[in-house]
Structure 1
Amino acid sequence: MIGSIIIGILAGFLAGKLMRGGGFGCLWNLLLGVVGGAVGGWVFSLFDISWEGSWIGQLVTAVIGAVLVLYVASLFRRK
């Protein structure tokens, strides 16, 4: 559980660096990264892809999910 949270936080940090404009700030990127880890796992399960044994695979999954979450959240962001 704590490992998953740490991977989600790291994924949020990396997703914030990958997104144009830096995302929503450090704290929000980290929180959205934790949510993104769950979203990434769900998206990858739709394609029957699982990297449960590898923490690098879990990190990649979480980063992809966090980028998706940050992108969707940016659509609702006021300018």
Structure 2
Amino acid sequence: MAIEALLIILLVGAIAGWLAGQIVKGYGFGLLGNIVVGIVGALFAGFLFPRIGLGLGGGILGSIIAATLGAVILLFLIRLIKRA
């Protein structure tokens, strides 16, 4: 993996994690935590969305939107687990 690809993954993860933290109030994890939540959300979205027939297009904007949606779902699941 090239260093540029790694930087793009980190940037998309950071943006998606921050956006998800803004959407799901009270669940910001700091810069590193937001990056992790964004990357895990992107992996989750990459696994789930094609199986339900949802395509968000290519490019960096589509990646940010998909990662943000995946991160929001992930934060809701974390919230449900913490309540139980």
Whether TM-score is above 0.5 comes out as yes
Give ranges in structure 2 of 5+ residues lacking alignment.
none
Give the match for residue 51 of structure 1. Answer: 57
1:1-79 matched pairs, under 5 angstroms: 1-2=5-6, 3-21=8-26, 23-26=27-30, 27-46=32-51, 47=53, 49=55, 51-52=57-58, 54-77=59-82
Percent identical? 29
Distance 1:45 1:57 in 2: 13
Query: If each structure's helix is expressed as a fraction of its own residues, which one has the higher value?
Result: 2
CA contact (8 A) 1:9 1:33 kept: yes
Runs of 4+ in 1 over 6 A off after TM superposition: none
Equivalent pairs, count: 77
CA contact (8 A) 2:10 2:35 kept: no
TM-score normalised to structure 1 length: 0.80
TM-score normalised to structure 2 length: 0.76
Q: Could you say what the CA RMSD is over the residues aligned between the two structures, in angstroms?
A: 2.1
Counterpart secondary structure, 1:77: helix
Which of 1 and 2 has greater Rg?
Answer: 2
Give ranges in structure 1 of 5+ residues lacking alignment.
none
Counterpart secondary structure, 1:20: coil
